[in-house]
Structure 1
Amino acid sequence: ALPDAIEEVSQADQDAFNQDGLGYLADKARTLDALPSDAWEPDLAAFDALIASLAIEGMPETGLMQGSWLWVGQRALGSDAPTPVLDPPAYEIAFGEGDVQVRADCKRADGTYAADGGMTGALSLTLNPTTMQICSEDSQADAFLTALSQVDRFAIAPGAHTMQLFLPDGSVMSFAQAE
């Protein structure tokens, strides 16, 4: 059961959160994700079936499909601020119905993705080999493509103008919706 008040949270949990909030939450999410669906109240399988039965015409399956996204920064685990991307329009990702298009500076790639969730959830990307251009020395293309291939979760902020992609090592890629 979740605590109703801060007094119900152990000092060890408070200390762990204060030391590394994102890491603590990622660990808790993994613990909760590992629980079987019948460990939840209501049973998550029944809840998921109910949600899946709802159909809203014209609504994309996931918020990922709301246009294209520009990479604006990346925050490493334990870092307070993201490292900004030097040229965000050069690093773009667009999600279609199961397919993805990527621009990484002078390189282009396409591939597929699977998402479990509307505005937040699990995400896996499979990118095909990129075009073979060699970008400039200050290009972040290879770092961008490598990070994308490791993404395991996503979250789109309310209002759908910013998105975060999470990597298993705790780092976070930040995106802004392209205009």
Structure 2
Amino acid sequence: MPHVLVLNASYEPLGVVSVRRALILLLNDKAVSLESTGALMRSATHAIPAPSVVRLKRFVRVPYRSAVPLTRRALFARDGGRCAYCGGVATSVDHVIPRSRGGQHAWDNVVAACRSCNHIKADRQVAELGWRLRHQPGPPSGLAWRIIGTGHRDPRWLPYLQPYGADDALARIEGRSA
């Protein structure tokens, strides 16, 4: 099922919801559609274009969160779905300093890895194997990462995410996946 970008009344990105949830917001007159997919959603009495971007009519105060939550999906988005050791397709999460040796589950110690590299590395440190990281892990920054980190992306969202660092985030993702 497609996903919809939800913007605050101030056009600040809030999150990503399902088309069903976005339609409920539209039908309850809580949001307006800014972009649509072109497909029509039909009921017995209505035909509404399926939204791609909606903006809430009333401003919603969101508590300030400085850090992007560390999730598997956000980690794979940050690393472009590529192994931090060999550049292959990543399928697992690896701790650079293993947790068994005191490493933390934090952005600067977690990378995406392919199954083979993760298996070979096991509970050893990178220096013990003579390996090098393709990039230094660190926390992503910017409001756009909250959206991009969900793993759902739509080209129609880009104009609404650009003021919040989407270009930097997407360049980081695409640069690593090449």
Q: RCO greater where, 1 or 2, for CA within 8 Å and sep 6 or more?
A: 2
- Would you say same fold, with TM above 0.5? no
* TM-score, scaled relative to structure 2: 0.24
**Computing the radius of gyration over CA atoms, which structure comes out larger, 1 or 2?**
2
- Structure with greater strand share of residues: 1
* TM-score, scaled relative to structure 1: 0.23
